[in-house]
Every structure is written in C-alpha cells, then in structure tokens.
Amino acid sequence: MDFQEKQILPPKSWELFEELCLVLFRAIWQDPAAQKNGRRGQSQHGVDIFGEPGKIGNVFHGIQCKGKDAAYGSSLTTDEIDSEVAKAEGFTPPIKDLTFATTALRDAHLQEHVRKLSVARAGNGRFTVHVLAWEDIQSLLAEHPSVIERFYPEQALDMSAILRSVQAMPHGQDVANMLALVQKCIGEGQRLSPAYAPLWRPITYDHSRGLGPALLGRGLGPGDALSCPRLIEADIVVRLLRSAFSARLVGDPGTGKSVCAYQATHTFAQQGWSVVRLGDPQVLNVNLAPPDDKPTLFLVDNAHLMGQDVLADIEDQACPTRFCLRFIRHPIIRLRTAGPLQWMGFAQ
C-alpha cells in the first residue's frame, strides 16, 4: 500500500507540524536555506516559514502553519485567512505567494474563498494565496520519502524500491561466478567435498608411453616417469618425506624434477598412499584435508608461482599421514627455519 493511500495522522504538536512543513517545503522549493520566521513571541507578519523556490532571485514565498483539527482544538476559517493575509502584507520584502498549511481536513467552502481571494489579489499585483489541507500535505509527503523517513519512520518502508533493489542485485550465473572466485581466493574448496577434486587432482601411473616422448622432448606424465631410469634424487626425496614429511625439489628447467617427483611419489603409491597434485598453484590458501583418512602425498608443481606464506602454511600441515612434495623451477633455495637440511639441491 502506498503512503498516500494510508491514513496518516498529523504530528501531535504544533511545533512538530511546523518543523514538518519546514523540511517538506525545503524539499519542494529545493531551497535548503528556507527557514522559520523569527521565534515565538516575535511579530511574524502572518508568515511562519519563508524561502526562495528554485532560487530564481529574491522571490520569496511564505507558509502559514495552522494546526486546525480536533487534536489542536479548532478549525481554519475564512476570517482567519483574511486576517493572516492582511498581516502578511507587512512582511518585507514582499512575498510572492502565501500558503496556508493546515492539519484540518479539506473544506470546499474554504478552498473557494481562497481561490477567489488569490485571483483578486493577483489582479492587484499582490501575493497569491493557497491552502493545503492535511490530505494535500500527505500527498506532497508521498513524493518526498526522505521527509517521511524523518517524521514517519515506521511508514518509510518502500517495498517497491526494495524489490527493485533486490532485482538489481547479482543473481544466477553472476552469483555462481562470484562463489567460484571466492572459493578460489580463500582456498576453501577442498572443505566442500565436491570442490576437493578440482583443487587436488589424483595422480595415476597406469599410462606409460616408453622413452619415445622423452627422446622427442615431450612433456612427461607420471606413467612416463616410470619408463625413465630411476634418478638418485628420487630415493633421497623418499627418505626426506619419511623423516620430515615435506621436501622441496629445486632445479633448473630440464633437470628432471617432474620425473624425479613422479618416481618418488610412485614409491608411496605402491604402498597404498593417495597421490594428488595441486590443480591451481595460484590459490591463496590450501588446506591439506583429504576427503578420507587414507595417507595422502600432496604434490605441488610450479611452486614458484605460489606465495611464500602459502607454501609455508602447506608445509606446516605436513604430518606422518600427509606428505608434501613441491618442486620449484628456479634454482633458488630459501631456508625458512633455523637448522634446515640442505643437501645437494634439496631444501627441506
């Protein structure tokens, strides 16, 4: 239901009604400098509020607030209007228009009197006169939600606007994309079981192509690594993982890091371990939490693309049932704790 269709009572006090009129006409006139005329007890020349509508240049309009209904104890009369109009003649500089804002209900007799009076005065070059009953004021309020919010906060709930805002919010595929981005950023994907797989991809060794791909310089998979002669470093990696639970394999491109890593991890795979590889090395946080209790070896390729804090966090999670092996393409060995083991290209 619109604000205009509701039965809204005027403010309980005349002072509050005058304040409401001031705020309302500041909005209508688009004149934030509109103000009350003097203070109580001072001569106001029939004008309670004055302002410059549209700021077109020293053209003042006035408001006379009349709290007139059962709550305020009386009703607005034609004589009272005539009397107040006469007083307003003394307002300087002369006003262009005087509006009576009343809490009384609309009165056709009074409206007719004011129309005739206004036309007659305009013909004589004097300010025009209007009267606004409470229904008219409520109608004007409906066009200025900020005023409603201030004086009738309980009525300020605009369901239509809320609905439009909700409809304008991201939804559907937008939300799905946002969720995917958030999961990637916080690296919590693996805690949500279905998302574990994209983050950690299982490694299998059942597809060997012999030495051909290696001799032709092709990329080698886990199965291919078993076709290559076992490197000494693979056995070193196995020993390091068993004793320290994590190891770093460092070397120049083409030194056989991948082959070595796959050969080492195959040793554990044969002993019943799961071997998984990180799918995206640019995640910001990785939790080594396998979906089951099976011992798992986590392989991190392209570790040089990961932040040092992320790598350190991964290695801190390594334990007797969760091994972590990372290989780095740059021959840069960073020692992160006191007393680390560094031995022939390995940093632990």
Partner 1 sequence: MDGFRAVKTIASALKSDLPVTLAAVARVDDRVGERSMDEDLARCIDDAQSSSKFPWQFCFVLGGGWRRADAAADASRAHGLDRLF
DSSP track, 172-183: THHHHHHHHHHH
Binds partner 1 by CB under 8 A, chosen from 41, 254, 272, 320: 254
Task: Note whether 49 and 35 are within 8 A (CB).
Answer: yes
Contacts of 186 (CB under 8 A, 6+ apart): 284, 285
Tell me: does residue 219 bind partner 1 (CB under 8 A). Answer: no
Could you give the string, one character per residue 327-346, with x where binding to partner 1 holds by CB under 8 A and - elsewhere?
-----------------xx-
**210 interacts with partner 1 by CB under 8 A:** yes
Q: In angstroms, what is the minimal distance from the CB of 234 to partner 1? A: 10
Q: Is the backbone of residue 8 left (phi > 0), alpha (psi -120 to 50) or beta?
A: beta
In the numeric block, the tokens 């036309």 are attached to 119
Q: Does 251 bind partner 1 (CB under 8 A)?
A: yes
Query: Segment contacting partner 1 (CB under 8 A): 111-119, 158-166, 186-194, 207-215?
Result: 207-215
By CB under 8 A, is residue 211 in contact with partner 1? yes
Nearer to partner 1, 90 or 210 (CB): 210
Rounded to a whole number of angstroms, the minimum distance from the CB of residue 337 to partner 1 is 22
Which of 231, 241, 300, 311 lies at the binding interface for partner 1 (CB under 8 A)? 231
Residue from 249, 278, 310, 318 in contact with partner 1 (CB under 8 A) = 249
Nearest to partner 1 of 142, 226 (CB atom): 226
Instruction: Determine contact, residues 76/38, Cβ cutoff 8 Å.
Output: no
Residues 101, 105, 106, 110, CA torsion sign? negative
Q: Which stretch binds partner 1 (CB under 8 A): 28-36, 118-126, 180-188, 255-263?
A: 255-263
To 10 degrees, what angle do helices 14-29 and 134-142 make?
50
Question: Is the bond into 145 cis (omega within 30 degrees of 0)?
Answer: no
**Nearest in space to 109 (alpha carbons), one of 77, 65, 71, 67:** 77
Site membership for partner 1, residue 233 (CB under 8 A): yes
Q: Find the binder of partner 1 among 90, 170, 229, 307 (CB under 8 A).
A: 229
Which residue, 277, 267, 276, is CA-closest to 226? 267
The smaller minimum CB distance to partner 1, of residues 85 and 228, is found at: 228
Identified binder of partner 1 from the candidate list 38, 212, 279, 307, rule CB under 8 A = 212
Of 144, 141, 47, the residue nearest 96 (C-alpha):
47
The interface mask with partner 1, positions 158-197, x = CB under 8 A, is ----------------------------------------
- Candidate residues 56, 108, 216, 332; the one interacting with partner 1 per rule CB under 8 A: 216
Residue type, 85: V
Does residue 291 interact with partner 1 by CB under 8 A?
no
Please state the closest distance from residue 284 (CB atom) to partner 1, in A. Answer: 28
CA 92 to CA 98: how far, in whole Å? 13
Q: Which candidate, 313, 318, 283, 280, places its Cα nearest to that of 297? A: 318
Nearer residue to partner 1 within complex by CB, 164 or 218: 218
Sequential DSSP letters for 199-268: HEEE-------TTHHHHTT----HHHHHHSPPPHHHHHHHHHHHHHSEEEEE--TTSSHHHHHHHHHHHH
Exposure on the CB side of residue 204, measured as CA atoms within 13 A: 2
CB of 307 to partner 1, least distance (A): 23
Q: Which of 259, 275, 297, 347 binds partner 1 (CB under 8 A)?
A: 259
Binding piece for partner 1, criterion CB under 8 A, among 130-138, 179-187, 256-264, 314-322: 256-264
For binding to partner 1 (CB under 8 A), which residues are involved? 210-212, 214-217, 228-233, 249-257, 259-260, 344-345
